[in-house]
Amino acid sequence: MKIKIEHQPSQESLNQLGVYNWAIWQKEASKFPWTYDFQETCYFLEGDVIVTPDGGQSVQMGKGDLVTFPAGMSCIWEITKDVKKHYCFD
């Protein structure tokens, strides 16, 4: 299971996805476990995060990144700078 990251996607591709109509999630710097029941795609408006999938490599992401998390993945989220992101479940 792999996390897909697109750094600095174009406004055009964000508009095609309808990113700005998605719900917003915000969280202060913290560390917690998370499991994705569904695939999630999100676009970071602010923040920095290190996500470590169970048994996998840590992945860094943050402001300006479009990220897809696979369904069924369990991981640890470590927010190093407060996060604000648009998100949607597929």
In 3D, which of 85, 71, 90, 82 has the Cα closest to residue 19? 85
The total number of residues written for the chain in this structure: 90
| Confidence (pLDDT) at 90 | 84
Q: Three-state DSSP class for 38? A: coil
Which domains are delineated in the chain?
4-89 (2.60.120.10)
pLDDT value at residue 1: 76
Task: Write out residues in the chain with pLDDT < 70, as ranges.
Answer: none
